[in-house]
Amino acid sequence: MTVPSQMSVRRIPEALHLKVRVAYAAAWEALVGTHTDQALQFVCEFASRLPVLEGLDLYLHVTAIPEAMQETVRFRTLTALDLESLPALTELPALSGWKLLRIDLLLEQQRYRHRYHEKTLELARMVGARAAEAIVATHVENAIGFAQLLKGAMPVNAATDRYLREFGLPANVAQMVMQRVQARVAGEELTAQYEELPPQPLEPVSPPRRSDAVPAVPASADAAGGAPVPAPTPTVSPAAPSPSAPVFPGAKALFR
């Protein structure tokens, strides 16, 4: 995980760059606050089994805190710690005197110490799992806020994936966060689909109809006087002679 000032704003509208930077910083601060609260509770619960500094180191060991965030969580936890209210550290039994010469007693003491430390580590893993759930819940809230900020510019899944990549979450944690974000916004997304107006259907364009009528030829104007010139009259060819008519001169006189 990088610090908020080095997180990318590529493929985000330029008008939202400042708001996205502020969202990165707010998400980082929320994660630091959650880790600080969980570390403070962890140290107080294990104060009877471990010294304060060892308990804080154990918390950083059993929880996945980014390296860039560890120092901030450490000093905020120490500054918020009330040393007077912590329970006293339990002292383990120790052998003294002639008991130090008993091999069986020495072995039993070593086995007891081993069981005690194993139990402490087991309890620490359980408390670390509780802290991990709180961190996942914080990531979910951060991712939902980030998706709402980019609403209209980026889909919810894309905005959530962008948040997960910028904060460098492991694959298993990222899957948990993505699933919870989808579960949280599912109802809103289903309602939003009914508010969107469907696209208007395109009306089919009918092809132009061809007219069967022959356009009238306008009468041309006379070049000299400007008077319209009538259209030329078609010439009628003379009728062919009838077959019964004489075909040469003087034939009529022969039939008289």
Each residue's pLDDT tens digit, 3-23: 888 888 888 888 889 999 999
Structure letter (DSSP) for residue 221: B
* Whether pLDDT at 254 is above 50: no
| Nearest C-alpha neighbor of 180 from the set 223, 225, 112, 133 | 133
Q: How many helices (H) and strands (E) does the chain have?
A: 7, 0
According to the model, what pLDDT value does residue 58 have? 94
Q: What is the dihedral of CA 152, 163, 35, 128, to 10 degrees?
A: 120
* Whether pLDDT at 255 is above 90: no
Mean pLDDT of 230-254: 50
The whole-model pTM stands at: 0.69
pLDDT bin (cut points 50, 70, 90) of residue 142 is: very high
Does the residue 211 lie in any domain?
no
According to the model, what pLDDT value does residue 113 have? 87
Task: Give residues with Cβ within 8 angstroms of 158, minimum separation 6.
Answer: none
According to the model, what pLDDT value does residue 251 have? 45
| Nearest C-alpha neighbor of 39 from the set 53, 62, 56 | 56
Determine the straight-line distance between the first and last CA of the chain, rounded to whole angstroms: 134
At position 164, the amino acid (one-letter code) is L
Could you tell me the two tokens for 121?
A: 């580590």
Domain containing 121 equals: 16-192
Distance CA 11, CA 156 (A): 15
Does the residue 44 lie in any domain?
yes
Mean pLDDT of 32-53: 93
Mean pLDDT of 88-96: 79
According to the model, what pLDDT value does residue 237 have? 52
Mean pLDDT of 139-149: 94
Does the residue 155 lie in any domain?
yes
According to the model, what pLDDT value does residue 199 have? 65
Does the residue 99 lie in any domain?
yes
Does the residue 143 lie in any domain?
yes
Mean pLDDT of 52-64: 92
Mean pLDDT of 246-253: 48
- The proportion of the chain whose per-residue pLDDT surpasses 90, expressed as a percent, equals 45
The domain total for the chain is 1
Does the residue 4 lie in any domain?
no
According to the model, what pLDDT value does residue 227 have? 52
- Average pLDDT of the chain, as a whole number: 81
Give the tens place of pLDDT for each residue, 180-236. Answer: 999 998 887 677 666 666 666 666 666 666 655 555 555 544 444 555 555 555 555
Looking from the CA of 219 toward its CB, the CA atoms found within 13 Å total: 9
Distance CA 250, CA 256 (A): 11
pLDDT bin (cut points 50, 70, 90) of residue 127 is: very high
Does the residue 229 lie in any domain?
no
Could you tell me the two tokens for 99?
A: 């008991």
Does the residue 92 lie in any domain?
yes
